[in-house]
Structure 1
Protein backbone atom coordinates (compact mmCIF):
# COMPACT_ATOMS: atom_id res chain seq x y z
CA UNK A 1 0.00 0.00 0.00
CA UNK A 2 1.35 3.43 -0.89
CA UNK A 3 2.03 5.99 1.86
CA UNK A 4 -0.80 8.31 2.75
CA UNK A 5 -0.60 11.95 1.67
CA UNK A 6 -1.19 14.47 4.45
CA UNK A 7 -1.57 18.24 4.10
CA UNK A 8 -0.27 20.37 7.00
CA UNK A 9 -1.81 23.86 7.11
CA UNK A 10 0.07 25.74 9.83
CA UNK A 11 1.50 29.28 9.62
CA UNK A 12 4.12 28.80 12.37
CA UNK A 13 7.19 27.54 10.44
CA UNK A 14 8.67 25.74 13.47
CA UNK A 15 5.47 23.82 14.21
CA UNK A 16 4.91 23.11 10.53
CA UNK A 17 8.46 21.76 10.18
CA UNK A 18 8.08 19.63 13.31
CA UNK A 19 4.86 18.07 12.02
CA UNK A 20 6.33 17.49 8.57
CA UNK A 21 9.39 15.70 9.99
CA UNK A 22 7.24 13.69 12.40
CA UNK A 23 4.92 12.46 9.66
CA UNK A 24 7.72 11.82 7.16
CA UNK A 25 9.60 9.68 9.68
CA UNK A 26 6.39 7.74 10.29
CA UNK A 27 6.21 6.89 6.58
CA UNK A 28 3.69 9.46 5.36
CA UNK A 29 4.00 11.95 2.51
CA UNK A 30 3.63 15.39 4.16
CA UNK A 31 2.94 18.61 2.24
CA UNK A 32 3.37 21.87 4.19
CA UNK A 33 1.19 24.94 3.61
CA UNK A 34 1.66 28.17 5.56
CA UNK A 35 -1.65 29.96 5.08
CA UNK A 36 -5.29 29.12 4.62
CA UNK A 37 -5.11 30.40 1.06
CA UNK A 38 -2.16 28.13 0.25
CA UNK A 39 -3.95 25.19 1.89
CA UNK A 40 -7.04 25.86 -0.24
CA UNK A 41 -4.91 25.94 -3.39
CA UNK A 42 -3.24 22.62 -2.47
CA UNK A 43 -6.62 20.95 -1.91
CA UNK A 44 -7.85 22.19 -5.29
CA UNK A 45 -4.82 20.72 -7.05
CA UNK A 46 -4.43 17.38 -5.25
CA UNK A 47 -6.50 14.91 -3.27
CA UNK A 48 -5.08 14.29 0.21
CA UNK A 49 -5.86 11.46 2.62
CA UNK A 50 -5.91 13.70 5.71
CA UNK A 51 -5.57 17.39 6.64
CA UNK A 52 -3.88 18.76 9.77
CA UNK A 53 -5.22 22.27 10.21
CA UNK A 54 -4.48 25.25 12.43
CA UNK A 55 -7.28 27.79 12.95
CA UNK A 56 -5.65 31.22 13.18
CA UNK A 57 -4.22 31.46 9.67
CA UNK A 58 -3.46 34.33 7.30
CA UNK A 59 -5.78 34.55 4.33
CA UNK A 60 -8.53 31.95 4.62
CA UNK A 61 -9.10 31.05 8.29
CA UNK A 62 -9.13 27.49 9.53
CA UNK A 63 -12.87 27.61 10.17
CA UNK A 64 -13.52 28.90 6.65
CA UNK A 65 -11.31 26.20 5.16
CA UNK A 66 -13.15 23.43 7.05
CA UNK A 67 -16.44 24.71 5.68
CA UNK A 68 -15.07 24.90 2.13
CA UNK A 69 -13.61 21.39 2.29
CA UNK A 70 -16.86 19.90 3.56
CA UNK A 71 -18.80 21.24 0.59
CA UNK A 72 -17.16 18.65 -1.66
CA UNK A 73 -14.99 16.25 0.35
CA UNK A 74 -15.07 13.80 3.26
CA UNK A 75 -11.29 13.87 3.80
CA UNK A 76 -10.49 13.55 7.54
CA UNK A 77 -9.65 16.91 9.16
CA UNK A 78 -7.75 17.13 12.44
CA UNK A 79 -7.61 20.58 14.03
CA UNK A 80 -4.39 21.49 15.89
CA UNK A 81 -4.98 24.72 17.79
CA UNK A 82 -4.45 26.63 21.01
CA UNK A 83 -8.20 27.32 21.00
CA UNK A 84 -9.11 24.66 23.51
CA UNK A 85 -12.49 25.56 25.00
CA UNK A 86 -15.27 22.99 24.92
CA UNK A 87 -17.43 25.42 22.94
CA UNK A 88 -14.71 25.82 20.29
CA UNK A 89 -14.38 22.06 19.91
CA UNK A 90 -18.12 21.53 19.63
CA UNK A 91 -18.45 24.27 17.02
CA UNK A 92 -15.63 22.79 14.92
CA UNK A 93 -17.02 19.26 15.10
CA UNK A 94 -20.41 20.59 13.99
CA UNK A 95 -18.69 22.45 11.16
CA UNK A 96 -17.13 19.22 9.90
CA UNK A 97 -13.82 18.62 11.69
CA UNK A 98 -13.15 15.01 12.72
CA UNK A 99 -10.80 15.52 15.67
CA UNK A 100 -9.11 18.19 17.77
CA UNK A 101 -5.60 18.36 19.25
CA UNK A 102 -4.64 21.12 21.68
CA UNK A 103 -1.40 23.08 21.49
CA UNK A 104 1.10 22.45 22.90
CA UNK A 105 0.74 18.87 21.71
CA UNK A 106 2.46 15.54 22.32
CA UNK A 107 3.97 14.07 19.14
CA UNK A 108 2.84 10.59 20.11
CA UNK A 109 -0.74 11.78 20.40
CA UNK A 110 -0.56 13.42 16.96
CA UNK A 111 0.58 10.18 15.33
CA UNK A 112 -2.01 8.12 17.19
CA UNK A 113 -4.87 10.41 16.15
CA UNK A 114 -3.65 10.52 12.54
CA UNK A 115 -3.52 6.72 12.41
CA UNK A 116 -6.98 6.43 13.96
CA UNK A 117 -8.57 8.83 11.47
CA UNK A 118 -6.93 7.09 8.50
CA UNK A 119 -8.15 3.69 9.73
CA UNK A 120 -11.70 5.01 9.99
CA UNK A 121 -11.54 6.58 6.52
CA UNK A 122 -10.30 3.33 4.96
CA UNK A 123 -12.94 1.26 6.77
CA UNK A 124 -15.69 3.63 5.65
CA UNK A 125 -14.44 3.62 2.06
CA UNK A 126 -14.20 -0.18 1.87
CA UNK A 127 -17.61 -0.66 3.46
CA UNK A 128 -19.27 1.39 0.74
CA UNK A 129 -17.37 -0.04 -2.20
CA UNK A 130 -18.09 -3.23 -4.13
CA UNK A 131 -14.80 -5.17 -4.13
CA UNK A 132 -15.42 -6.70 -7.56
CA UNK A 133 -17.42 -4.34 -9.75
CA UNK A 134 -16.20 -0.79 -10.37
CA UNK A 135 -17.93 1.71 -12.64
CA UNK A 136 -17.21 5.17 -14.01
CA UNK A 137 -19.87 6.37 -16.40
CA UNK A 138 -20.00 3.83 -19.25
CA UNK A 139 -16.75 2.19 -18.12
CA UNK A 140 -17.16 -1.02 -16.08
CA UNK A 141 -14.38 -3.12 -14.52
CA UNK A 142 -15.05 -6.56 -13.03
CA UNK A 143 -12.15 -7.47 -10.74
CA UNK A 144 -13.30 -11.07 -10.29
CA UNK A 145 -13.51 -11.95 -13.98
CA UNK A 146 -10.80 -9.42 -14.93
CA UNK A 147 -13.01 -8.00 -17.67
CA UNK A 148 -13.38 -4.39 -18.75
CA UNK A 149 -16.31 -3.12 -20.80
CA UNK A 150 -16.94 0.33 -22.24
CA UNK A 151 -20.42 1.13 -23.56
CA UNK A 152 -21.03 -2.60 -23.19
CA UNK A 153 -18.16 -3.42 -25.54
CA UNK A 154 -15.19 -5.48 -24.29
CA UNK A 155 -11.84 -3.72 -23.84
CA UNK A 156 -8.81 -5.96 -24.24
CA UNK A 157 -6.12 -4.94 -21.73
CA UNK A 158 -2.83 -6.50 -20.72
CA UNK A 159 -2.45 -7.55 -17.08
CA UNK A 160 -0.44 -4.42 -16.24
CA UNK A 161 -2.92 -2.17 -18.02
CA UNK A 162 -5.76 -3.86 -16.14
CA UNK A 163 -3.99 -3.33 -12.80
CA UNK A 164 -3.39 0.36 -13.54
CA UNK A 165 -7.02 0.94 -14.51
CA UNK A 166 -8.24 -1.04 -11.48
CA UNK A 167 -6.10 1.10 -9.17
CA UNK A 168 -7.39 4.35 -10.69
CA UNK A 169 -11.02 3.21 -10.60
CA UNK A 170 -10.67 1.98 -7.01
CA UNK A 171 -9.71 5.50 -5.91
CA UNK A 172 -11.75 7.91 -8.05
CA UNK A 173 -10.40 11.46 -8.18
CA UNK A 174 -7.21 10.52 -6.30
CA UNK A 175 -4.06 11.64 -8.09
CA UNK A 176 -1.43 8.93 -8.48
CA UNK A 177 2.16 9.85 -9.26
CA UNK A 178 4.09 7.68 -11.71
CA UNK A 179 6.00 6.36 -8.70
CA UNK A 180 2.72 5.40 -6.95
CA UNK A 181 1.53 3.46 -10.00
CA UNK A 182 4.86 1.79 -10.68
CA UNK A 183 5.50 0.60 -7.13
CA UNK A 184 1.96 -0.78 -6.75
CA UNK A 185 1.55 -2.37 -10.20
CA UNK A 186 5.09 -3.54 -10.90
CA UNK A 187 5.94 -3.99 -7.20
CA UNK A 188 9.47 -2.83 -7.88
CA UNK A 189 11.68 0.19 -7.22
CA UNK A 190 10.79 3.18 -9.36
CA UNK A 191 13.52 4.81 -11.44
CA UNK A 192 12.72 8.45 -12.06
CA UNK A 193 13.55 8.44 -15.77
CA UNK A 194 11.51 5.30 -16.49
CA UNK A 195 8.81 6.02 -19.10
CA UNK A 196 7.03 2.68 -18.60
CA UNK A 197 4.02 4.09 -16.78
CA UNK A 198 3.43 6.77 -19.43
CA UNK A 199 3.48 4.13 -22.18
CA UNK A 200 0.93 1.95 -20.40
CA UNK A 201 -1.35 4.92 -19.69
CA UNK A 202 -1.16 5.88 -23.36
CA UNK A 203 -2.07 2.32 -24.39
CA UNK A 204 -5.12 2.28 -22.08
CA UNK A 205 -6.29 5.63 -23.44
CA UNK A 206 -5.91 4.45 -27.04
CA UNK A 207 -7.94 1.30 -26.41
CA UNK A 208 -10.72 3.26 -24.69
CA UNK A 209 -10.71 5.94 -27.40
CA UNK A 210 -11.37 3.34 -30.09
CA UNK A 211 -14.76 2.75 -28.45
CA UNK A 212 -15.48 6.22 -27.05
CA UNK A 213 -13.33 8.89 -28.76
CA UNK A 214 -15.29 11.76 -27.20
CA UNK A 215 -14.57 10.98 -23.53
CA UNK A 216 -11.30 11.15 -21.59
CA UNK A 217 -11.30 8.59 -18.79
CA UNK A 218 -7.77 9.15 -17.48
CA UNK A 219 -6.70 12.73 -16.82
CA UNK A 220 -3.11 13.93 -16.67
CA UNK A 221 -2.48 16.25 -13.72
CA UNK A 222 0.53 18.12 -15.03
CA UNK A 223 3.59 17.96 -12.82
CA UNK A 224 1.97 15.37 -10.52
CA UNK A 225 0.57 12.29 -12.23
CA UNK A 226 -2.75 10.75 -13.28
CA UNK A 227 -6.27 10.35 -11.96
CA UNK A 228 -9.58 8.94 -13.10
CA UNK A 229 -11.69 11.55 -14.84
CA UNK A 230 -15.16 11.74 -13.33
Structure 2
Protein backbone atom coordinates (compact mmCIF):
# COMPACT_ATOMS: atom_id res chain seq x y z
CA UNK A 1 0.00 0.00 0.00
CA UNK A 2 1.18 3.54 -0.68
CA UNK A 3 2.49 5.32 2.41
CA UNK A 4 -0.14 8.01 2.77
CA UNK A 5 0.12 10.34 5.76
CA UNK A 6 -3.06 11.27 7.63
CA UNK A 7 -3.63 13.81 10.40
CA UNK A 8 -6.47 13.11 12.85
CA UNK A 9 -7.73 16.24 14.62
CA UNK A 10 -10.17 15.43 17.43
CA UNK A 11 -10.23 16.62 21.05
CA UNK A 12 -12.06 13.57 22.42
CA UNK A 13 -9.29 11.02 23.17
CA UNK A 14 -11.57 8.00 22.66
CA UNK A 15 -12.77 9.17 19.24
CA UNK A 16 -9.28 10.29 18.24
CA UNK A 17 -7.83 6.90 19.17
CA UNK A 18 -10.64 5.12 17.31
CA UNK A 19 -9.97 7.11 14.12
CA UNK A 20 -6.24 6.48 14.57
CA UNK A 21 -6.92 2.73 14.78
CA UNK A 22 -9.23 2.76 11.74
CA UNK A 23 -6.60 4.30 9.45
CA UNK A 24 -3.49 2.62 10.89
CA UNK A 25 -5.14 -0.83 10.74
CA UNK A 26 -5.68 -0.10 7.04
CA UNK A 27 -1.94 0.52 6.63
CA UNK A 28 -1.82 4.32 6.63
CA UNK A 29 0.66 6.44 8.57
CA UNK A 30 -1.17 8.64 11.07
CA UNK A 31 -0.42 11.47 13.49
CA UNK A 32 -2.86 12.74 16.14
CA UNK A 33 -3.75 16.28 17.23
CA UNK A 34 -6.11 17.12 20.09
CA UNK A 35 -6.72 20.82 19.45
CA UNK A 36 -6.99 23.16 16.49
CA UNK A 37 -3.84 24.98 17.55
CA UNK A 38 -1.82 21.76 17.71
CA UNK A 39 -3.19 20.75 14.30
CA UNK A 40 -2.15 24.07 12.76
CA UNK A 41 1.38 23.63 14.11
CA UNK A 42 1.63 20.05 12.80
CA UNK A 43 0.29 21.13 9.39
CA UNK A 44 3.16 23.63 9.16
CA UNK A 45 5.80 21.13 10.27
CA UNK A 46 4.78 18.08 8.24
CA UNK A 47 3.14 17.16 4.94
CA UNK A 48 -0.15 15.25 4.99
CA UNK A 49 -2.18 13.61 2.26
CA UNK A 50 -5.49 13.86 4.13
CA UNK A 51 -6.94 15.37 7.32
CA UNK A 52 -9.79 13.99 9.44
CA UNK A 53 -11.18 16.97 11.33
CA UNK A 54 -13.62 17.64 14.14
CA UNK A 55 -15.20 21.11 14.30
CA UNK A 56 -15.66 21.76 18.01
CA UNK A 57 -12.02 22.03 19.05
CA UNK A 58 -10.12 23.95 21.74
CA UNK A 59 -7.77 26.63 20.45
CA UNK A 60 -8.60 27.10 16.79
CA UNK A 61 -12.04 25.81 15.86
CA UNK A 62 -12.33 23.37 12.99
CA UNK A 63 -13.72 26.13 10.78
CA UNK A 64 -10.80 28.44 11.59
CA UNK A 65 -8.34 25.62 10.93
CA UNK A 66 -9.86 24.99 7.47
CA UNK A 67 -9.65 28.70 6.60
CA UNK A 68 -6.00 28.86 7.64
CA UNK A 69 -5.07 25.64 5.84
CA UNK A 70 -6.80 26.60 2.61
CA UNK A 71 -4.60 29.67 2.22
CA UNK A 72 -2.10 27.43 0.45
CA UNK A 73 -2.66 23.69 0.98
CA UNK A 74 -4.83 21.45 -1.17
CA UNK A 75 -4.95 18.05 0.58
CA UNK A 76 -8.44 16.61 1.18
CA UNK A 77 -10.20 17.47 4.44
CA UNK A 78 -12.93 15.19 5.76
CA UNK A 79 -14.98 16.77 8.54
CA UNK A 80 -16.52 14.49 11.19
CA UNK A 81 -18.91 16.38 13.44
CA UNK A 82 -22.05 16.20 15.54
CA UNK A 83 -22.91 19.60 14.03
CA UNK A 84 -24.65 17.88 11.15
CA UNK A 85 -27.34 20.37 10.15
CA UNK A 86 -27.62 21.49 6.53
CA UNK A 87 -26.21 24.94 7.35
CA UNK A 88 -23.21 23.39 9.12
CA UNK A 89 -22.46 21.06 6.20
CA UNK A 90 -22.75 23.81 3.61
CA UNK A 91 -20.59 26.14 5.68
CA UNK A 92 -17.64 23.75 5.93
CA UNK A 93 -17.87 22.97 2.21
CA UNK A 94 -17.76 26.68 1.47
CA UNK A 95 -14.68 27.01 3.64
CA UNK A 96 -12.93 24.30 1.64
CA UNK A 97 -13.68 20.90 3.19
CA UNK A 98 -14.04 18.03 0.72
CA UNK A 99 -16.41 15.74 2.59
CA UNK A 100 -18.61 15.62 5.70
CA UNK A 101 -19.42 12.63 7.89
CA UNK A 102 -21.94 13.13 10.73
CA UNK A 103 -21.30 11.71 14.19
CA UNK A 104 -21.86 9.04 15.32
CA UNK A 105 -20.11 7.48 12.34
CA UNK A 106 -19.69 3.99 10.94
CA UNK A 107 -16.07 2.78 10.95
CA UNK A 108 -16.36 1.16 7.53
CA UNK A 109 -17.81 4.34 6.01
CA UNK A 110 -14.96 6.45 7.39
CA UNK A 111 -12.38 4.13 5.85
CA UNK A 112 -14.23 4.00 2.52
CA UNK A 113 -14.38 7.79 2.31
CA UNK A 114 -10.72 8.11 3.28
CA UNK A 115 -9.72 5.66 0.54
CA UNK A 116 -11.89 7.45 -2.04
CA UNK A 117 -10.37 10.83 -1.20
CA UNK A 118 -6.82 9.47 -1.31
CA UNK A 119 -7.39 7.88 -4.72
CA UNK A 120 -8.46 11.23 -6.08
CA UNK A 121 -5.67 13.11 -4.35
CA UNK A 122 -3.11 10.71 -5.83
CA UNK A 123 -4.50 11.42 -9.30
CA UNK A 124 -4.67 15.15 -8.56
CA UNK A 125 -1.04 15.19 -7.37
CA UNK A 126 0.23 14.42 -10.84
CA UNK A 127 0.65 10.66 -10.91
CA UNK A 128 -1.65 10.56 -13.93
CA UNK A 129 -0.31 11.69 -17.31
CA UNK A 130 0.26 15.39 -17.61
CA UNK A 131 -1.96 17.51 -19.81
CA UNK A 132 -2.49 21.23 -20.30
CA UNK A 133 -5.96 22.63 -20.99
CA UNK A 134 -6.38 26.18 -22.35
CA UNK A 135 -9.47 28.30 -22.86
CA UNK A 136 -8.83 31.97 -23.51
CA UNK A 137 -6.64 33.25 -20.68
CA UNK A 138 -7.52 30.27 -18.47
CA UNK A 139 -4.82 27.57 -18.26
CA UNK A 140 -5.03 24.31 -16.31
CA UNK A 141 -1.87 22.22 -16.12
CA UNK A 142 -2.39 18.68 -14.83
CA UNK A 143 1.32 17.90 -14.59
CA UNK A 144 2.14 20.83 -12.30
CA UNK A 145 -1.38 20.81 -10.79
CA UNK A 146 -1.72 24.54 -11.39
CA UNK A 147 -4.31 26.96 -12.71
CA UNK A 148 -3.80 30.50 -13.99
CA UNK A 149 -6.33 33.06 -15.19
CA UNK A 150 -5.03 36.16 -16.93
CA UNK A 151 -1.53 35.05 -15.98
CA UNK A 152 -2.34 35.02 -12.26
CA UNK A 153 -2.04 31.87 -10.15
CA UNK A 154 -5.14 30.43 -8.47
CA UNK A 155 -4.98 27.95 -5.58
CA UNK A 156 -7.76 25.35 -5.85
CA UNK A 157 -8.79 22.39 -3.73
CA UNK A 158 -8.84 18.90 -5.24
CA UNK A 159 -12.58 19.08 -5.93
CA UNK A 160 -12.41 22.56 -7.48
CA UNK A 161 -9.50 21.53 -9.71
CA UNK A 162 -11.32 18.42 -10.93
CA UNK A 163 -14.58 20.28 -11.58
CA UNK A 164 -12.73 22.91 -13.62
CA UNK A 165 -10.81 20.22 -15.52
CA UNK A 166 -14.05 18.38 -16.33
CA UNK A 167 -15.71 21.53 -17.67
CA UNK A 168 -12.61 22.59 -19.64
CA UNK A 169 -12.24 19.14 -21.22
CA UNK A 170 -15.74 19.54 -22.72
CA UNK A 171 -16.19 23.33 -23.05
CA UNK A 172 -19.39 23.18 -25.08
CA UNK A 173 -21.12 20.55 -22.94
CA UNK A 174 -23.64 21.41 -20.22
CA UNK A 175 -23.06 19.17 -17.19
CA UNK A 176 -25.90 18.49 -14.80
CA UNK A 177 -25.15 18.50 -11.07
CA UNK A 178 -25.66 14.75 -11.09
CA UNK A 179 -23.07 14.28 -13.84
CA UNK A 180 -20.54 16.51 -12.09
CA UNK A 181 -21.03 14.69 -8.79
CA UNK A 182 -20.67 11.23 -10.29
CA UNK A 183 -17.63 12.19 -12.40
CA UNK A 184 -15.77 14.17 -9.73
CA UNK A 185 -16.81 12.40 -6.54
CA UNK A 186 -16.90 8.96 -8.13
CA UNK A 187 -20.05 8.06 -6.20
CA UNK A 188 -23.71 7.62 -7.03
CA UNK A 189 -25.60 10.90 -6.86
CA UNK A 190 -27.92 11.07 -3.84
CA UNK A 191 -29.92 14.12 -4.93
CA UNK A 192 -28.02 16.69 -2.83
CA UNK A 193 -27.43 19.73 -5.05
CA UNK A 194 -25.75 21.69 -2.24
CA UNK A 195 -22.44 19.83 -2.49
CA UNK A 196 -21.90 20.60 -6.18
CA UNK A 197 -23.34 24.11 -5.92
CA UNK A 198 -21.01 25.07 -3.07
CA UNK A 199 -17.88 23.81 -4.81
CA UNK A 200 -18.79 25.54 -8.09
CA UNK A 201 -19.53 28.73 -6.14
CA UNK A 202 -16.12 28.55 -4.44
CA UNK A 203 -14.44 27.96 -7.80
CA UNK A 204 -16.20 30.95 -9.34
CA UNK A 205 -15.27 33.13 -6.39
CA UNK A 206 -11.58 32.30 -6.75
CA UNK A 207 -11.66 32.97 -10.48
CA UNK A 208 -13.45 36.29 -9.99
CA UNK A 209 -10.73 37.48 -7.62
CA UNK A 210 -8.17 37.52 -10.44
CA UNK A 211 -10.42 38.53 -13.33
CA UNK A 212 -13.81 40.13 -13.91
CA UNK A 213 -14.50 37.74 -16.79
CA UNK A 214 -17.15 35.07 -16.51
CA UNK A 215 -15.54 31.64 -16.81
CA UNK A 216 -18.37 29.31 -15.77
CA UNK A 217 -21.97 29.76 -16.88
CA UNK A 218 -25.07 28.53 -15.10
CA UNK A 219 -27.57 26.98 -17.50
CA UNK A 220 -30.73 27.40 -15.47
CA UNK A 221 -32.65 24.24 -14.84
CA UNK A 222 -29.83 22.08 -16.17
CA UNK A 223 -26.37 22.73 -14.70
CA UNK A 224 -23.04 24.32 -15.62
CA UNK A 225 -20.73 24.80 -18.62
CA UNK A 226 -17.71 26.86 -19.57
CA UNK A 227 -18.35 30.35 -20.86
CA UNK A 228 -17.09 31.16 -24.34
CA UNK A 229 -13.62 32.57 -23.71
CA UNK A 230 -11.61 34.57 -26.18
CA UNK A 231 -7.91 35.32 -25.77
TM-score by length of 2: 0.55
Runs of 4+ with >3 A deviation: 127-131
Aligned: 1:42 with 2:42: yes
Q: Which residue of 2 aligns with 1:10?
A: 10
Task: Tell me the residue number matched to 1:125.
Answer: 125
C-alpha distance after superposition, 1:136-180 (max 9, x if no partner)? xxxxxxxxxxxxxxxxxxxxxxxxxxxxxxxxxxxxxxxxxxxxx
SS of 1:58's equivalent?
Answer: coil
Instruction: Report the CA distance shift for 1:22/1:128 in structure 2 as closer, same or farther (over 3 A).
Output: closer
* CA–CA separation in structure 2 for the residues paired with 1:11 and 1:120: 28
SS of structure 2 residue aligned to 1:89: helix
After the TM superposition, which residues 15-34 of structure 1 pair with which residues of structure 2 at under 5 Å, given as runs? Answer: 15-34=15-34
Secondary structure (helix, strand or coil) at the match of 2:7 reads strand
Between the aligned partners of 2:118 and 2:17, the Cα distance in structure 1 is: 21
1:68 maps to 68
Structure 1, residues 46-66: CA drift from partner, whole Å, max 9, x if none?
010000000000001000000
Q: Aligned partners of 1:31, 1:120: CA distance in 2, in Å?
A: 21
**Distance in structure 2 (CA, Å) of the matches to 1:112 and 1:30:** 16
CA distance in 1, matches of 2:125, 2:30: 22
Calculate the aligned-residue CA RMSD, in Å: 1.6
Unpaired runs of 5+ residues, structure 2, are 132-231
CA distances 1:83-109 after superposition (whole Å, capped 9, x unpaired): 000111111101100000010000000
How many residue pairs end up in the alignment? 131
Report the Cα offset of residue 2 of structure 1: 3.5
Distance 1:21 1:102 in 2: 19
State the structure with more CA Rg: 1
